[in-house]
Amino acid sequence: MAIVEALSYHPKFKAETKAYSKQVVYFPGCYSTYNDAQTAKAVVMVLAHNGFAVITPNFRCCRVPLQSNDQFAQAETNAQHNLRLLRPYLEQGIPVVASCPSCTLTLKQDYAKLSSAGAELIASRTYDLFEFLWKKTSFSKISGRSLTPWATMLLVISKPKGSGIRLSAYFA
């Protein structure tokens, strides 16, 4: 059993410490880290509620904002740093969850093209938060919960037609 690890660079994301049987690495991204800590806290709480110890190494920017500002060398340095942090978890088969769409896409597509150890594993083990909850938990059985429009859309488009999904079951 693992113990929840708090974000060492942003301690206000810390979740309740208790024993869990499953682990997940959380990549919060720059926006959650520096502008919207409540989102990161909520992600940690949701993952913990679903039985996952949340591992949060000291990640750097995924690289998208740096590239957008013509800082390509620093972007590459950050990507290599993040992949070094992720590699041991990827090799153990521990999934990576990101709550930022840009970070998720970068981890899945750009990091997979790096010539570093672990790059070949990242695409298949990285998930958007809702994708992860849908595939790896009993999220599809939630009832009596109010979901955001984005989550509702993900529920609708991620289930095959005729699968019996009833949106009325998801709202109180």
Percent of the chain scoring above 70 in pLDDT: 69
Query: What percent of the chain is helix, strand and coil (3-state, nearest 5)?
Result: 55, 10, 35
Confirm whether pTM is higher than 0.85.
no
What pLDDT is stored for residue 35 in this prediction? 87
Mean pLDDT to the nearest integer, 48-65: 91
DSSP class of 117:
T
pLDDT score of 48 more than 90: no
Using one digit for the tens of pLDDT, what is the confidence trace for 97-140? 999 999 999 999 999 999 888 899 999 999 999 889 888 776 55
Are the C-beta atoms of 128 and 104 separated by less than 8 Å? yes
d(CA 113, CA 27): 19
Are the C-beta atoms of 3 and 19 separated by less than 8 Å? yes
What pLDDT is stored for residue 36 in this prediction? 83
- Give the residue with greater pLDDT, 164 vs 80: 80
- Paired with 2 in beta bridges are 20
DSSP 32-97: HHHT-HHHHHHHHHHHHHTTEEEE-------SHHHHHTT-HHHHHHHHHHHHHHHHHHHHTT--EE
Q: What angle do CA 30, 122, 77 make, to 5 degrees?
A: 50
Mean pLDDT to the nearest integer, 56-74: 93
